[in-house]
Amino acid sequence: MRICLFPGTFDPVTLGHIDIINRALPLFDKIYVGIGVNAAKNPMFSAEQRMQWFQEIYKNDKRVESVVFDGLTIKYCEKIGAKFILRGIRYVSDFEYEKTIADANRTLDSSIETIFLTGEPKYTSVASTIVRDILRNGGNASPFLPQAVINTLEAE
């Protein structure tokens, strides 16, 4: 079974994240969306909320499961039996950063491979950081967000 971990903060979940997951689905039997808890970051949305968004978006596809984890990504891969780490790339600068992490992960466990997917051009500008700025300043971030996230924001 080809098990993959797609780690990130997903704060909030964007259409860019969904694009990467949807295009990775034919490659893997199971994709765990790993919502990383990072003590250095102060998220806008709780890890539980982010997990619920993925559960709602993929409620009809049991191949996608959202989980919350902390610690080393490689250790979590070992825990769930994932042999692949999925990462989305928007720009060349993303690749340089992600390759450094992939190299470190390979050093820690050479049996786990990092797979990079480039984002669809229409989602290149979709970054959670930008979306959070739009939301904090009262703007309309809905063009960048899946419906499950929009519904939550409208309910608040």
How far apart CA 42 and CA 108 sit, in angstroms, is 27
How far apart CA 72 and CA 79 sit, in angstroms, is 11
Q: Catalytic residue, from 66, 106, 128, 132: name it.
A: 128
Going by C-beta distance under 8 Å and a sequence separation of 6 or more, which residues neighbour residue 137?
Answer: none
As given in the structure block, the two tokens for residue 5 are 């971990």
Q: Catalytic residue, from 2, 41, 79, 122: name it.
A: 41
Q: Any catalytic annotation for residue 50?
A: no
Question: CB neighbours (10 Å) of residue 84?
Answer: 18
Q: Any catalytic annotation for residue 90?
A: yes
How far apart CA 24 and CA 46 sit, in angstroms, is 25
Q: Any catalytic annotation for residue 83?
A: no
Q: Catalytic residue, from 17, 50, 66, 87: name it.
A: 17
Q: Catalytic residue, from 50, 66, 87, 90: name it.
A: 90
Q: Any catalytic annotation for residue 136?
A: no
Name the residues annotated as catalytic. Answer: 17, 41, 90, 128
